[in-house]
Chains A and B, each alone.
Chain A
Amino acid sequence: MPFENSPSLDAYKNGMPERPRRSSTEHRRVWLVIAVLSVVVVLLLGVNLWDAPAVTHLRGTGTVTGQVVNERGDPIQAEIFVLKTALDAQTDDQGYFTLKQVPAGEQILVIAYLGVGREVRTVVASDTVTDLGRIQFASTRVPEF
């Protein structure tokens, strides 16, 4: 820088000049980005926690009942699982089952008998009993095209 363009000492008589401050618009923009990202993180956290046991309990639980019979209508001793949970039950001598504490919402039950399972979809409402009625179980593994 040429000497004649140097600032005069008068410019420093009150100490070093202040650094230029960021404009309030820029400041606002940065905080807007932070706010948007925070919302995204909260939403993604919600998605990840949606099926967590603590959250499913917050959504409430219900009871699912039903009776499992074979093709001839005779009761069978089957196992019932609720997918993505540790819940299971076994039918009694008459083929009836009761599953308690099933998380509210759409659920897939698996009725299993002799190593073969069938899925039954249902919607469980909080604090209510959902009766699936008579479920006919075809144990065959033959092609179903």
Chain B
Amino acid sequence: MNRKRGSELIQGQSLVEYALILALIVASVALALLAMGVSARDVYCLAAGGLGLDAQCAHYLHDDFSNLDGWTIDRGSWQSVDGMLCGGPGEGRIFRNLEGSDYTITLDGATLSQGNGYGTYFRVSEAPDFSGYSFQYDPGYGGAFIMRKWVNGNEISPPFGRTRVGANYDWWNTPRQVQIEVKGDTFTAYVDGEQVLQASDSTYTSGGVGLRTWDGTKACFDAISVDAAR
């Protein structure tokens, strides 16, 4: 009788040990992802993607700007005009909250009609904080693509990423596709499918998206999509 109890005890112990190992592995993976700034949603999406499930994770947002529902105008003039979002002139910020850390923003038909440029916010927190990052299509900065950090509504100078563009670049009245890939602490910007800038910063790990105008800028945008990073 005693022997039987001893045998069950040993078998029970090994189950406890294996359960403990499993729990520790799960805890290690979760903590490692947390340390890398990966959100619970990203982990779920990664797992869903790996299992071939068509989870809603793939898309955070698609807006064709037929109206401005879901957007918060922090400052400036923003309107939906003929299915396009148009902003400016003057200092303007429009924001949309997202619970995401790694994603790709795609702006279609982004057209600067006048002024010094426009910006696309990413990983930005809601006003009045307004901390995060922006990628700027910036002829006013000597003709450049730049990435800036924002702290409590203040744009940090100098930008943490910048690249000059050739003098013959057609900045105005040309619809562009602007893409920003936000992954970990590395941000990569593409214009019309061509990589134009890559920069890194680790201050902010998650947040929403938005658009920006300043000075004499007038810019319109056909649509915006935000998809989970691959």
A positions within 8 Å CB-CB of B: 15-16, 18-19, 21-22, 30-31, 33-34, 37-38, 40-41, 44-45, 47-48, 79, 81, 83-84, 88, 108, 110, 112, 115-119, 138, 140-141, 143-145
Q: List, in ascending order, chain B residues with CB within 8 A of A19's CB.
A: 7, 10-11
Is B57 among interface residues, defined by CB-CB distance under 8 A? no
Partner of A141, one of B3, B32, B34, B157: B157
Q: Is the CB of A143 within 8 A of B144?
A: yes
B positions within 8 Å CB-CB of A: 3-4, 6-7, 10-11, 14, 17-18, 20-21, 24-25, 27-28, 31-32, 34-35, 141-142, 144, 151-158, 162, 164, 203
Partner of B35, one of A22, A31, A44: A44
Q: Is the CB of B21 within 8 A of A110?
A: no
Q: Is the CB of A117 within 8 A of B21?
A: no
30 contacts between A and B (CB under 8 A): A16-B4, A18-B3, A18-B6, A19-B11, A21-B10, A22-B10, A30-B21, A34-B17, A40-B24, A41-B27, A41-B28, A44-B28, A44-B31, A44-B32, A48-B35, A81-B152, A83-B203, A88-B152, A110-B154, A112-B151, A115-B154, A115-B155, A116-B155, A116-B156, A117-B151, A117-B155, A141-B157, A145-B142, A145-B162, A145-B164
**Total of A-B residue pairs, C-beta within 8 Å:** 88
